[in-house]
Structure 1
Amino acid sequence: PLDQCPKSLQIEDEELKCTTFCRLIIPTTYLALLDCNHFQRKMPKGDKSITATKASNATEQASTSPGGTNKTSSDILGLIETLKSELKEDNDKLRKDINTLSQEMGNKLDNLTEEMRGLTERMEEAENCVGRVEDMTLDLTEAIQNKLTDLESRSRRNNIRLFRVGKGEEGKSVTQFVTDFLKRELPLPADFDLKIQRAHRVFAAKPRPKNNPRQIIVNFQEYTTKELILKEAWKKGRIQSNGRNIYFDHDYATEIVQKRMAYQEIKKVLKEKGVRFQTPYTSIRIHWESGVGTYSSAHEAGMELRKRGLEVEVPTAVTEEVAMETRLQKSLGWQREAQIKKE
């Protein structure tokens, strides 16, 4: 082991034992290689002369300056102290540069933080403005839609619809066919003038063979005539044409038709159970054994059927405001941030 190396070096009355390495490297341009017996014993026999020559040359280089002047150990230690001083100055300068750079980066980060805070405030203000505009747009759109539905309903108030009239039964003139059909099937005076202004099938895609034919819309000149026709048709109940049951109903606006369509499953279940019902406008009136109940939405009616033990799929409860907002968002193609997070 190295700590058993007997070699030592005498420098200014201080004995330095070889306890760690058999070679001492000083961080200057000088190199001192200690000739260690332990080191020589580990070398092959054929390399002893080469090792001795290298050690002698290294010792001479370590004790001699580049100009050939001998250097004492105090000179070497002085050079070491000089190197330490230079390293300390370099470290201090580097530390100062790092502190300066850190301060500059901190200032820039503070500026960026302040700018981000300003942008965040402006973004929040813009979102609030957009939210208020959207709410106002929803209110205005809903009001306009209600007025549009009312106007459309008024324009259709003199119309009736005939359902399940076979294709081609009307012949060349739909108006003449409807006139003859109504006078033949309904108990009307012989000289009663229906005053039909227009009669035609609805403008829609051609139905498939298994589907019902397109409906016929009949426009009367007078509202009272239209009401009389519906009253007599509903009073008679079963009216047929070529073996088909013909149904009469109001000509509702598109918005109203969509709301009435939500009752389809409920009406199907009620028919199977033999429960009498009516669908005035956008409501449904059900004649229970315990009394008559009127429900303003398909969801409300479906929940009532569930309570009474009838199996029916309950439609989702959708308010006017939610439905309008959904249509508006689909048309705009974007959503509020709060709505996106909620979903």
Structure 2
Amino acid sequence: MATARQKDLVKSKKNPSKVGEADASSLQEMMNAIRDDICGKIDLLSSELRSEIATVRAELGSSITPLQQKVDRHDDTIRELEHAASDQGDCINELEDLVQTLKKQVSQLNAKCEDLEGHSRRNNIRLVGIPEGVEGPNPTEFVSGLLHNVLKLDHKPIVDRAHCSLREKPKTGDPPRPFIIRIHYYQDRDRILRKAEELSPVVYQERRAWFFPDYTTAVAKKRAQFGEAKHLLRSIKEVKSRLVYPALLKITLPDRTLHKFEEPSAAEKFIKSINTRSPREGPFGLFT
């Protein structure tokens, strides 16, 4: 007995056009089924993706919100710091201007104090080399008599006060402290210094004594810097020099040309140039 499939084959052999239409219809149905299946899966995946994206977006939103708040707070803090830095910069500029002003004022006050101290010492003499303790209970009277006798003055100078320098009393064998002597009259003070220079070396109790003007520490240091220049000038007999207060070296050449120097290096350079002139030229620019 023939099966249905065999019958169909027999029919298809008898009518091939009908068989082609049946296959095409079957293929179309299969394609439609595949398309529906693919579309369904795509829709499912799209739905899942949308759900996951929404979840991620929600999570990101919940995470970004506190971060944004922190950023906003940091922005506010940075703005405050910028304003504070700007204010501090203005304050620093004002303080720098104030410091410069105060430095000028301090410099002026120091110069004024130095000048006042120098003037207060104009009548003073610093006497070095007198043995410690010989002045007795009345150093003022002792110094007045010492100046009169040692320097062979016409009269005893009026001494306002006299005392040893205020440093610690020296030990046995150490050099004695210098005497600080204030002469009542400035003319007597100059006369004493000139007389001491004329009688140099001055000796008291078989010890040499030195007489110096009583300069401030700053002035004494400035004057000491001209020591080399004064040493060079001693070898040139034709030149006259004088170191005037506070520290100005005046050099007078034989042709009466006056040169003034406030810097020791400039004075030394000038003095050395005097002895390095041409052999046909004198030491002061004059031909011999």
* Alignment TM-score > 0.5, same fold: yes
1:89 aligns with 2:84: no
How far 1:92 moved relative to its partner? 1.2
**Corresponding residue to 1:261 among 218, 221, 231:** 221
- For 1:109, the aligned partner's letter is H
1:218 aligns with 2:181: yes
**Could you report, residue by residue, the CA deviation over 1:123-153 in whole angstroms, capped at 9, with x for unpaired residues?**
1121122123222322332333333333333
Q: 2:196 matched to which residue of 1?
A: 233
For the Cα contact (< 8 Å) 2:158–2:184, is it kept in 1?
yes
Gap change, CA 1:281 and 1:129, over 3 Å in 2: same
Number of positions where the alignment pairs a residue of Structure 1 with one of Structure 2: 230
Distance of 1:162 and 1:209 partners within structure 2: 20
**Corresponding residue to 1:251 among 214, 219, 239:** 214
Distance of 1:123 and 1:235 partners within structure 2: 67
Q: Which runs of 5+ in 2 are unaligned?
A: 1-29, 31-39, 273-288
Q: 1:131 matched to which residue of 2?
A: 96
Distance of 2:250 and 2:141 partners within structure 1: 37
**Could you report, residue by residue, the CA deviation over 1:238-294 in whole angstroms, capped at 9, with x for unpaired residues?**
212234332222223xxx322422554652685499558754333152769998754
Distance of 1:168 and 1:229 partners within structure 2: 23
For the Cα contact (< 8 Å) 1:163–1:246, is it kept in 2?
yes
Give the TM-score, by structure 2 length: 0.63
Distance of 2:213 and 2:271 partners within structure 1: 31
1:295 aligns with 2:269: no
How far 1:211 moved relative to its partner? 5.3
Distance of 2:231 and 2:174 partners within structure 1: 20
Distance of 1:128 and 1:188 partners within structure 2: 64
For the Cα contact (< 8 Å) 2:163–2:180, is it kept in 1?
yes
**Corresponding residue to 1:115 among 77, 80, 84:** 80
Over the residues paired in the alignment, what is the CA RMSD in angstroms? Answer: 3.8
Gap change, CA 1:287 and 1:153, over 3 Å in 2: closer
**Corresponding residue to 1:285 among 228, 249, 265:** 249
Distance of 1:227 and 1:213 partners within structure 2: 24
Give the TM-score, by structure 1 length: 0.54
**Corresponding residue to 1:169 among 120, 134, 139:** 134
Q: 1:26 matched to which residue of 2?
A: none
For the Cα contact (< 8 Å) 1:285–1:294, is it kept in 2?
yes
For the Cα contact (< 8 Å) 2:130–2:204, is it kept in 1?
yes
For the Cα contact (< 8 Å) 1:239–1:245, is it kept in 2?
yes
1:180 aligns with 2:180: no
For the Cα contact (< 8 Å) 1:275–1:288, is it kept in 2?
no
Distance of 1:275 and 1:292 partners within structure 2: 18
How far 1:157 moved relative to its partner? 2.5
For the Cα contact (< 8 Å) 1:157–1:251, is it kept in 2?
yes
Report the structure number with the largest CA radius of gyration.
Answer: 2
How far 1:122 moved relative to its partner? 0.9
The 5 Å alignment of 1:39-58 reads none
How far 1:118 moved relative to its partner? 1.0
Q: Which runs of 5+ in 1 are unaligned?
A: 1-12, 14-74, 310-343
Gap change, CA 1:209 and 1:93, over 3 Å in 2: farther
